[in-house]
Amino acid sequence: MNELVFFINNVIVAGSVSGSIYAIGAIGVTLVFSIMRFAHFAHADMMTFGAFMVLLLTMAFPGVGGVVGLPTPVVMLPLAIVLTALLAVGIDKAFYKPLRAHGVKPIVMVIGSLGVTLMLQGLIRLFSGTSAQNLYLAGERKEIYRLEVPFELATRPITITEPQIILFILTIVSVVGLHLFLNRTRLGKAMRAMSDNPDLARSSGINTNHIVAVTWVIAGGLAAIAGTLLSLDVTFKPDLSFFLLLPIFAAAIVGGVGHPYGAIAGGFVVGFAETLAVFNWSVLLRPFRDSLPEWLAQAGNLAFVGTEYKIVVPFFILVAILVWRPTGLFKGKVI
Amino acid sequence: MPSIIDVRHVHKAFGGLKVINDCSIQVEKGSITGLIGPNGAGKSTLFNIMAGALPLDSGQVLLDGEDITNRPANELFHKGLLRTFQIAHEFSHMTALENLMMVPPRQAGENLFDAWLKPGLVRREEAAVRRRALEVVDFIGLHHVRNELAGNLSGGQKKLLELGRTMMTDARVVLLDEIAAGVNRTLLGDLVSNIERLNREMGYTFLVIEHDMEMIARLCDPVIVLAQGSVMVEGSIEEIQNNPQVIEAYFGSNAA
């Protein structure tokens, strides 16, 4: 029974955490692609930026969260969302809009976004330093909930932390909100229209510049949520994006680029694939040790890949999807 | 008669190729004006310039006296200048009805805050738009396919949808770019009578690019002939058909 609890903690909970973060990130990548038709490489750095804003705000107003009974970084998150959304719109105005106005090919935009990646990383590093930092400051600590399993054989509890619970709640809220926005509001429908046919959208009186700005606001806001909750779950690092970029793009491609629901599915596929691949399966075999052949019973580590090679998992998924189903699980391109 | 569209000395070149060369045309308010010319005469380029889809090199475009040179298409839409596309465009992932419902401008739901703060207003407007869209699908004879995805409609039905889109809002001028191309004869008859009805009953002004001379003859007066990027002649269809210059431009110098 303890083995099952171990499995729940290390696969179900951990996979849902990674999956949620990848899903929220991939939605942003996929929305930007469906509206502007380029792969926005700086997206993972917008996530870092969002987390960094939370760090700065938490340093500026330590202990504010105590008033409402939430961790201070979570209380600062809405402000960081606004700041990151502004950053996204500002980056677009400064770097991508002039390129669009010249009608450049998408690859030029992609290379431009690589430049923005390097610039953002440098900027964050300049102010934050290079070391990892905990977002819990001034005596606040991460709340850990231990759920006792109501079985006699289970002595260990299922553990889940406060930021993980907040992450799950915010993921559900974001996904439902996005769904309602795209299908119920005229602005959301205009966004779908523009991703389908931008010329016709303009000729139908849709202000496409406005839609582009809204897309950046949504992508930036979601990036701030994902970046902050990842930093809360582990720690804040200026090079967070290195470990996010590949899984997020893998998630977007797995789901079918340009397809937000696909991005959500893709995020969870990549997240669970990662945790399942690094999970030590020998733990689950332990109860059946007596009836197993010796070589299997003796094996101490039965993970598919070592934890340190976790990053190869999304890479493998990416290659596999591109070979066997290049359009993704859902047919992409249009919201 | 006052002109609703006034194109003044427009030039447009793509690299070294001068496509529009000192072109000036006027479209009278309330008219159905034809725009014809051999392939490569610059008709569609001129359309794209008027509709704000293409920047011009020099010159001026006026809509009812107002300078609209190089204004974006979505702004012109709100001023009542609408266009259809030579190759039918549609939002392929929405139904025919939803395609029409995308059109009407300036609704509360377009503003992000109104959508949340004034749901009652948004719902009433949405209902009004739906009513209008249903009227329009009846008018253009697409009632039976209104819930089909627009991407699955036939070429001719997509052209009708293009015309329907111009009826969703109160247009002043509609630029029709080869609306008849690829449409079968029966549908074409409907299309022509619909255009005449819109012109008569709703006061739309039309500027029509067309290769189908029968349709031009039935619909348009006057007709402007474009050749090599500028106006060659302008007049009634009879004058045009008997003009030796036009015959030469269309059939080459040996034909005359």
Q: 3-class DSSP state for residue B3?
A: strand
Cα of B126 to nearest chain A Cα, Å: 9
* pLDDT for res B10: 93
Find, in chain A, the residue whose alpha carbon is nearest to that of B53.
A199
CATH topology (fold) of B3-88+170-251? Rossmann fold (3.40.50)
What's the start-to-end Cα distance of chain A, in Å? 44
pLDDT at B39: 84
Which residues of chain B have a CB within 8 Å of the CB of A185? 109, 112, 115
pLDDT of residue B109: 47
pLDDT digits (tens, 9 = 90+) for B6-47: 999 999 999 888 999 999 999 999 999 999 988 888 898 999
SS3 B225: strand
Q: How far apart are CA B142 and CA B135, in angstroms?
A: 10
Retrieve residue B38's tokens: 């051999």
Planar angle of CA A28, A326, A182, nearest 5 degrees:
35
Whether B17 contacts chain A with CB within 8 A: no
The residue-averaged pLDDT of A316-320 equals 86
A207: closest chain B residue by CA: B74
- B76 vs B70: CA distance, rounded Å: 10
CB pairs under 8 A between A and B: 78
The closest CB to that of A205, out of B78, B85, B98, belongs to: B78
Q: What is the mean predicted confidence (pLDDT) over A48-70?
A: 88
Contact call for A186 and B90, based on CB within 8 A: no
**A250 min Cα distance to partner chain B (Å):** 25
ipTM of the complex: 0.82
Q: How confident is the model at residue A298 (pLDDT cuts 50, 70, 90)?
A: low
A128 Cβ partners below 8 Å, 6+ apart? A52, A55, A236, A238
- Name residues 54-83 of chain B within 8 A of A (Cβ): 72-74, 77-78, 82-83
Considering only residues B118 and A175, tell me which one the structure prediction assigns the higher pLDDT.
A175
Q: Is pLDDT above 60 for A334?
A: no
**Token pair for B249:** 């431009």
The confidence band for B113, taking pLDDT boundaries of 50, 70 and 90, is: low
Tell me what the mean pLDDT of segment B229-243 comes to: 86
Q: Specify the pTM.
A: 0.86
Distance CA A75, CA A57 (A): 10
Assess whether pLDDT exceeds 80 at residue A153. no
What is the number of structural domains in chain A? 1
Determine which helix (DSSP H) or strand (DSSP E) holds B161, and give its type and residue range. helix B155-167
**Beta strand B205-209 pairing with B223-227:** unpaired
Backbone angles phi, psi at B89, to 5 degrees: -105, 145
* Residues in B touching A197 (Cβ below 8 Å): 89-92
Tens of pLDDT, residue by residue over B189-228, are 878 888 898 899 888 999 999 888 888 888 898 999 998 8
**Cβ-based contacts of B107 with chain A (< 8 Å):** 186
**Arithmetic mean of pLDDT over chain A:** 88
List Cβ<8 Å contacts ≥24 apart for A167-176. A167/A17, A167/A20, A167/A21, A167/A229, A167/A232, A167/A233, A168/A16, A168/A20, A170/A24, A170/A225, A170/A229, A171/A20, A171/A23, A171/A24, A174/A24, A174/A27, A174/A222, A174/A225, A175/A23, A175/A27, A175/A264
Which CATH number characterizes residue A29's domain? 1.10.3470
Cβ of A211 under 8 Å from any chain B Cβ? Answer: no
Say if residues B89 and A199 touch (Cβ distance below 8 Å): yes
Mean pLDDT, residues A286-312? 75
A142 touching B (Cβ < 8 Å)? no
Residue A140 reports pLDDT greater than 90: no
Comparing B91 with A138, the larger pLDDT belongs to: B91
pLDDT of residue B166: 86
Give the residue numbers spanning the domain of A45: 2-324
**pLDDT at A97 (0 to 100):** 94
The reply to whether A335 falls in a domain is: no
Q: Is residue A130 domain-resident?
A: yes
Q: Name the CA dihedral angle for A60, A66, A72, A77, rounded to a multiple of 10 degrees.
A: -110
For B29-164, strand residue ranges (E) read 32-36, 58-63, 66-67, 81-83
Q: Are B196 and B220 in contact (CB under 8 A)?
A: no
Across the range B88-117, mean pLDDT stands at 73
CA distance B15 to chain A (A): 15
Question: For residue B143, which phi and psi values (nearest 5 degrees)?
Answer: -55, -40
- Is it the case that residue B253 has pLDDT exceeding 60? no
Indicate the average pLDDT of chain B: 85
Cβ <8 Å between B112 and A185? yes
Percent of chain B exceeding pLDDT 70 equals 91
SS3 state of residue B51 = coil
Average pLDDT over residues B148-171: 87
Residue B107 has pLDDT above 60, yes or no: no
Exposed e or buried b for every residue in A9-28, given b needs 16+ CB within 10 A?
A: ebbebbbbbbbbbbbbbbbb
Across A62-76, A174-188, A201-215, B64-78, least confident range = A62-76
Give the gyration radius of chain B's Cα atoms. 19
**Tokens representing residue A163 in the block:** 């930021």
Contact yes or no for A11/A162 (Cβ under 8 A)? no
Cα-based distances in Å from A213 to A36, A222, A263, B241: 11, 14, 21, 51
Q: Do B93 and A199 touch (CB under 8 A)?
A: no
Q: In chain B, which residues have their Cβ closer than 8 Å to the Cβ of A190? A: 102, 110
Task: Measure the CA–CA gap between B4 and B24, rounded to whole angstroms.
Answer: 13
| Candidates B112, B118, B122, partner chain A, best to mutate (most A CBs within 10 A) | B112
Give the closest of B53, B77, B94 to A205, CB-based: B77
Q: Looking at residue A185, what is its pLDDT?
A: 83
Q: Check pLDDT > 90 for residue A80.
A: yes
pLDDT at A21: 95
Tokens matching residue A263: 């991005």
Contact (CB, 8 A) for B102 and A190: yes
**Domain edges within chain B:** 3-88+170-251, 91-152
CB spacing of B109 vs A187 below 8 angstroms? yes
Q: What is the DSSP letter of B149?
A: B
CB contact under 8 A, A187 and B105: no
Given this model, what pLDDT does residue B108 score? 44
Chain B touched by A203 (CB under 8 Å):
yes
* C-alpha–C-alpha distance, residues B89 and B185, integer Å: 21
Task: Write the residue in B53, B73, B89 that is nearest to A197 by C-beta.
Answer: B89
**Going by C-beta distance under 8 Å and a sequence separation of 6 or more, which residues neighbour residue A216?**
A32, A85, A88, A89, A91, A92
Tokens of B9: 């000395």
Per residue in A11-25, pLDDT (tens digit) is 899 999 999 999 999
B176 at A interface, C-beta within 8 A: no
Q: Say if residues A266 and A329 touch (Cβ distance below 8 Å).
A: yes
A 10 A CB-CB count for A199 gives: 15
User: Which DSSP symbol is given to B89?
Assistant: P
To 5 degrees, how large is the angle CA B221–CA B224–CA B226? Answer: 160
Please report which confidence band the pLDDT of residue B58 belongs to, taking 50, 70 and 90 as the band edges: very high
Taking every pair of Cα atoms in chain A, the longest distance, rounded to a whole number of angstroms, is 73
Residue with tokens 């000192």: B22
Locus of tokens 């400064």: A94
Q: Name the residue facing A202 among B73, B91, B122 (closest C-beta).
A: B73
